[in-house]
Amino acid sequence: MGLEGNIIKSDSNSEFLKTIAVSRTPTEKYYISILTDDGEKCPEPESFSHATMIGVDVGLLTFATLSTGEKIDNPKFLKISLERLKFLQRRVSRKVIGSKNRRKAAYKLAKLHEKIANQRHDFQHKVSKKLISENQAVAVETLNIKGMKKNHKLAQAISDSAWYSFVQKLTYKAEWSGKTVLKIGQWESSSKTCSVCGYKHPNLTEDIREWLCPSCNVLHDRDINAAINIKKFAVGTTV
Ligand SMILES: [Zn+2]
């Protein structure tokens, strides 16, 4: 298959067809992506208000938490696949380098990587479609790329890359339907700040999932509070 990795430009007579790209996965599956342009412009973004938008907080334990209080968990099949991924990774590392058994184990691992990628894309397409269709605007935190590179924890790395591809899906779905994605820089205080009165918790460690604001006496779920703050910060109001 000599076409692999090539981008083939369409002939100049065709306005519709832009490029065709051929790619191959590590398990020898070939994909052809065809980029076309129907000439139609994306709709103008519709206006939004506090009432018609949501904030979304990304998490390790829950995939996403919404400012409405709703929590979107990673699907169970994805968790099972991720457990199996750890198991297969250990198996590959225990085989002798260059051996047939190692190649076999590596192939199985690559197959599982592909399966997880497909499961994740499917899940993310469904969630992003729902969020964009139900709201006029969605506020999210963008990732700290420097932090991502320094991070060696597998769970965090997987969560970061999943979030990145989710935000991409949200963004283009919003463009297609006249909605808005508001991206704010990763903001350390989104969990620590009381979304009701603005009080800042002095030492909110990762293990604290709930906290009572000593200033206004509101009990906060850590992630819901963060999602509300992300929404407020995105539209320029801190309290
Ligand atoms: Zn408070």
The whole-number pLDDT of residue 149 equals 53
Q: Where are the alpha helices (DSSP H) in 65-214?
A: 76-94, 100-134, 145-150, 154-176, 189-192
Cβ-based neighbour number of residue 162 at 10 Å: 20
Could you tell me the distance, in angstroms and rounded to a whole number, from the CA of residue 62 to the centre of ligand 1? 24
| DSSP H or E stretch at residue 232 | helix 222-234
* Reported pTM: 0.81
pLDDT in tens, 46-101: 999 989 999 999 877 788 999 999 999 988 888 888 889 889 999 999 999 999 99
Give CA–CA dist 49/28, Å, rounded: 48
Catalytic residues: 57, 141, 223
pLDDT in tens, 182-238: 998 876 688 999 999 999 999 998 889 999 999 999 999 999 999 999 999 998 864
Could you tell me the distance, in angstroms and rounded to a whole number, from the CA of residue 200 to the centre of ligand 1? 8
Cα–Cα–Cα angle for 142, 145, 151, nearest 5°? 115
Task: Please give the average per-residue pLDDT across 15-43, as a whole number.
Answer: 87
Give CA–CA dist 233/147, Å, rounded: 21
* Mean pLDDT computed over every residue of the chain: 86
Could you tell me the distance, in angstroms and rounded to a whole number, from the CA of residue 68 to the centre of ligand 1? 18
Confidence of residue 152 (pLDDT cuts 50, 70, 90): low
The token pair that represents 89 in the structure block? 């990774």
Give CA–CA dist 239/236, Å, rounded: 9
Confidence of residue 6 (pLDDT cuts 50, 70, 90): low
CB 116 within 8 A of CB 158: no
Given phi > 0 = left and psi -120 to 50 = alpha, else beta, which region is 30? beta
The answer to which of 15-24, 129-138, 174-183 has the lowest mean pLDDT is: 15-24
The token pair that represents 43 in the structure block? 């709709």
147 has pLDDT over 60: no
The whole-number pLDDT of residue 239 equals 43
128 has pLDDT over 70: yes
Confidence of residue 1 (pLDDT cuts 50, 70, 90): very low
The whole-number pLDDT of residue 82 equals 82
Give CA–CA dist 41/38, Å, rounded: 9
Please provide the CATH number assigned to the domain covering 50-234.
3.30.420
Could you tell me the distance, in angstroms and rounded to a whole number, from the CA of residue 202 to the centre of ligand 1? 13
Could you tell me the distance, in angstroms and rounded to a whole number, from the CA of residue 48 to the centre of ligand 1? 26
The domain limits of the chain are: 7-36, 50-234
Instruction: Read off φ and ψ for residue 181, nearest 5 degrees.
Output: -110, 120
Could you tell me the distance, in angstroms and rounded to a whole number, from the CA of residue 209 to the centre of ligand 1? 16
